[in-house]
Structure 1
Amino acid sequence: IFMNKARNRIKLLHWEPGGMVLYSKLLEAGTFGQPSHMGKEAISGSIEWRDLVLIVEGIIENPDSRRQRLETLKKLRK
């Protein structure tokens, strides 16, 4: 899992039978979250599958800290 410094792009490298798969997601607005157990200045670390899904889907465990991109999506749905 690779995330750029601006935290608006994430790339996932995954091994499947037959070869490697590269997934990439670029946000139009806002940033990806960071696992709560990692410090803000952390360069690398390990996360669990649950944490990865929360980051990629933009789900924030603390409802008071919604990301800008989630607010934008809410406005688009209205």
Structure 2
Amino acid sequence: MLTIPSAQSVYLACGSTDLRKSIDGLAALVQESFGLDPFSPCLFVFCNRERNKLKILSWEHNGFWLFYRRLERGTFQWPVSSESTVSITSRELRWLLDGLSLTQRRAHPKVTAETVI
């Protein structure tokens, strides 16, 4: 089973993106429009105008991964921002993929247990 790779940062491309773009087009968008390095260990997430499709671009070792997700019903709770990109955590990306809003109240905080008794 493929899983989304862990990343240092996750960047959402605000607004809508033409998802007819392939790896090269999205990598050029990351580099030229956002001023970010597409070869960095980050995830770059793009959404279409209808908010029912996502593409995630990621560089690993010697090539790009391109993940594509299409919802059959419903939409992604895509954030609205005046910035070109928004940085979120991997956990918040999972919320977004599960249909939750990034502006929701926070989930239970992570607990680091040291002993049982």
Please, what is the CA RMSD of the aligned residues?
2.0
Q: C-alpha separation between the residues in 2 aligned to 1:53 and 1:47?
A: 14
Match of 1:30 in 2: 74
Q: Mark the CA change 1:25 to 1:43 in structure 2 (over 3 Å): closer, same or farther.
A: farther
1:12 paired with 2:52, answer no
**Residue type of the alignment partner of 1:56:** L
Q: In structure 2, list runs of 5 or more residues that go unmatched.
A: 1-44, 106-117
Calculate percent identity across the aligned residue pairs: 34
Q: Report the TM-score when normalising by structure 2.
A: 0.43
For residues 1-78 of structure 1, the aligned pairs below 5 Å read: 1-35=45-79, 38-39=80-81, 42=82, 44-49=84-89, 50-60=91-101, 61=104
Q: C-alpha separation between the residues in 1 aligned to 2:55 and 2:87?
A: 15
Q: Which secondary structure state, in structure 1, belongs to the residue aligned with residue 85 of structure 2?
A: coil
Match of 1:70 in 2: none
Select the structure with the greater relative contact order (CA < 8 A; seq sep ≥ 6): 2
Give the helix-richer structure, 1 or 2: 1
Q: Which structure has the greater CA radius of gyration?
A: 2
Q: How many residue pairs end up in the alignment?
A: 58
Q: Which shifted more, 52-61 or 6-15?
A: 52-61
Q: Report the TM-score when normalising by structure 1.
A: 0.61
